[in-house]
Amino acid sequence: MQFETIIGLEVHAQLLTESKMFCRCSAGYASADPNTHVCPVCLGLPGALPVINHGAVQATIMTGLALTCSIPEYSKFDRKNYIYPDLMKGYQISQYDLPLCGGGVLPLVIDGKRKDIGITRVHLEEDTARLVHRTANGETYSLVDVNRSGVPLMEIVSEPDMRSPEEARAYLMALRQILRYIGVSTANMEEGAFRCDANVSQRTLDGSVIGPKVEIKNMNSFRSVERALAFEVERQRKALRDGEALVQETRGWVEDQGITVSQRTKEFAHDYRYFPEPDLPPLVLDRAEVDGIQSRMAELPTARRDRFIEQYGLNEREAELLTVEREVADFFEVTVDGDSDRAREASNWITGEIFALMRDSGLELEDVKISPEQIRELIELVGEDTINNRTAKEVLVAVHETGKSPREIVEERGLAQVSDEAQLLAVVRSVVDEHPDAVTDYQNGKKAAIGFLIGQVMRQMRGTANPGVARSLLEQTLAERVTS
């Protein structure tokens, strides 16, 4: 049997608002002591009334616009009822049938080919409290920290358009990139600001067998999503081939064992008994507001990549590298500072030396102590022949280590390039005298030997020799030696 994998993803992303979804407690709970960002509303105390955070609504609409979703005029909140200790009110305020954003699309590029993944909807809800499980004196119990309760949470539901774990991963990466670009979420998966549940099923290519849909939870990194889905695809295919019964269920990914296990607790499905939230009047969106959000939205990664190619003459690979993170793209454009002639050099410096520095030191761009202005200064120093490229790379590292400007470092360390012919000629002559073998090689037609000799000149000059001048002086000297 030839199977095809069907994957749909549900992503929950915490929004980067100042305050919570329905109260004015701070939404920044990461480093807060337990239960210090709570009030009667997020504690779910009787009689406390929620009020909608306008900023969270705007961030959700911006996300919808970034995913080319329809933005309906009318939207409302609903109660999703279930009893669990992480849910203070006994219900979660969410959106059921009238979400803020309707259908849209997220275009991916997979193996060089464009593939559109449909977006079903984007809606807004509130996060739940955090549970801590402990055992002491043989007693197992749970502790509740309500800080996270009520943090704005956006749910982005995809169509079942993905056909492999790799596509699912590509979708998540692209979605995360967009959320970070438009600044609505940190989309940090390890910190729980970006969570993913997956629906996976199998069907035969001729449609004769359609396996049940299995929901996978507990995947805490992009890698674990891909691994969990790959495991699940194999598990389902094997069961279908062997004629075993597959059931529609929820399964949890167990990272250290690399398997999914059934999480089915009871036979009954969840019965959420959604109904319109009586404490929150509906939203009727003003077209002008939606247009305003659209106009404030940052340029999206694909558009920016295309513009980099067009405007700065970069190739596709460079443009891609420079636009993966918005911070890098911003850094590049500040470096270029409107002068397209500088773009080539700026791109080389950033994708070459800066990326290497980040890779070697494990730092993010924001932690690299080199500013776009300093890169510009380096490009100028090379352009005006004050230093050569090789020295410039050393200067770059020194800038990062000392925080001093490139010019300061060049001056302090005497790194300015020497173009003075008299000074260089003395060095060239001594190198030629010291390496008769290389001279003979050169004169016997091995022109590559001049590279070695230039290297020796550089060595004596501690890298400060102007390579162009050094080369022509060498050629001149070697020619003189032949005739003499």
Partner 1 sequence: MSDKKLSLEEVDHVAMLARLGLEPDEREMMREQLSSILDHISLLQSVDTSAIPPTAQVITLQNQMRADDVHDSLSLDEVMKNAPDSEDGMFKVRAVLE
Note the residues at the interface with partner 1 (CB under 8 A): 17-19, 24-26, 33-40, 43, 51-57, 76, 81, 83-86, 131-134, 140-146, 263, 265, 268, 271, 273, 276, 278, 280-284
When the beta carbons of 46 and 362 are compared against partner 1, the nearer one is 46
Residue 378, helix vs strand vs coil: helix
When the beta carbons of 19 and 374 are compared against partner 1, the nearer one is 19
- The least distance separating partner 1 from the CB of residue 123, rounded to whole angstroms, comes to 15
- The least distance separating partner 1 from the CB of residue 305, rounded to whole angstroms, comes to 31
404/272 Cα distance (integer angstroms): 61
- The least distance separating partner 1 from the CB of residue 51, rounded to whole angstroms, comes to 5
Q: Count other Cβ atoms within 10 Å, centred on residue 478.
A: 19
When the beta carbons of 39 and 358 are compared against partner 1, the nearer one is 39
- The least distance separating partner 1 from the CB of residue 218, rounded to whole angstroms, comes to 11
When the beta carbons of 39 and 105 are compared against partner 1, the nearer one is 39
- The least distance separating partner 1 from the CB of residue 261, rounded to whole angstroms, comes to 12
106/162 Cα distance (integer angstroms): 12
Which regions of 163-291 does DSSP assign to beta strands (E)? Answer: 194-204, 214-219, 249-254, 259-262, 275-276, 283-284
When the beta carbons of 101 and 168 are compared against partner 1, the nearer one is 101
When the beta carbons of 267 and 437 are compared against partner 1, the nearer one is 267
- On whether the CB atoms of residues 21 and 56 are closer than 8 A, the answer is yes
- The least distance separating partner 1 from the CB of residue 199, rounded to whole angstroms, comes to 18
When the beta carbons of 24 and 296 are compared against partner 1, the nearer one is 24
Residue 137 burial (C-beta neighbours within 10 Å; 0-12, 13-18, 19+): exposed
Give the long-range contacts of residues 242-247, CB within 8 A, separation 24 or more: 246/211, 246/212, 246/214, 247/212
- The least distance separating partner 1 from the CB of residue 174, rounded to whole angstroms, comes to 27
Of the candidates 269, 279, 270, 276, which has an alpha carbon nearest to the alpha carbon of residue 97? 276
454/457 Cα distance (integer angstroms): 5
When the beta carbons of 136 and 482 are compared against partner 1, the nearer one is 136
Of the candidates 81, 26, 20, which has an alpha carbon nearest to the alpha carbon of residue 52? 20
20/146 Cα distance (integer angstroms): 12
What single letter denotes the amino acid at residue 342?
Answer: R
When the beta carbons of 256 and 271 are compared against partner 1, the nearer one is 271
Looking at residue 365, what DSSP letter applies?
G
- The least distance separating partner 1 from the CB of residue 118, rounded to whole angstroms, comes to 27
Q: Is residue 375 left, alpha or beta, with left meaning phi > 0 and alpha meaning psi from -120 to 50? A: alpha
- On whether the CB atoms of residues 450 and 432 are closer than 8 A, the answer is no
- On whether the CB atoms of residues 4 and 197 are closer than 8 A, the answer is no
- The least distance separating partner 1 from the CB of residue 208, rounded to whole angstroms, comes to 35
- The least distance separating partner 1 from the CB of residue 375, rounded to whole angstroms, comes to 36
Of the candidates 66, 58, 158, 53, which has an alpha carbon nearest to the alpha carbon of residue 100? 58
Q: Is residue 112 left, alpha or beta, with left meaning phi > 0 and alpha meaning psi from -120 to 50? A: left
177/326 Cα distance (integer angstroms): 8
When the beta carbons of 21 and 382 are compared against partner 1, the nearer one is 21
- The least distance separating partner 1 from the CB of residue 254, rounded to whole angstroms, comes to 14
CA dihedral 55, 56, 57, 59 (to 10 degrees): 90
When the beta carbons of 210 and 284 are compared against partner 1, the nearer one is 284
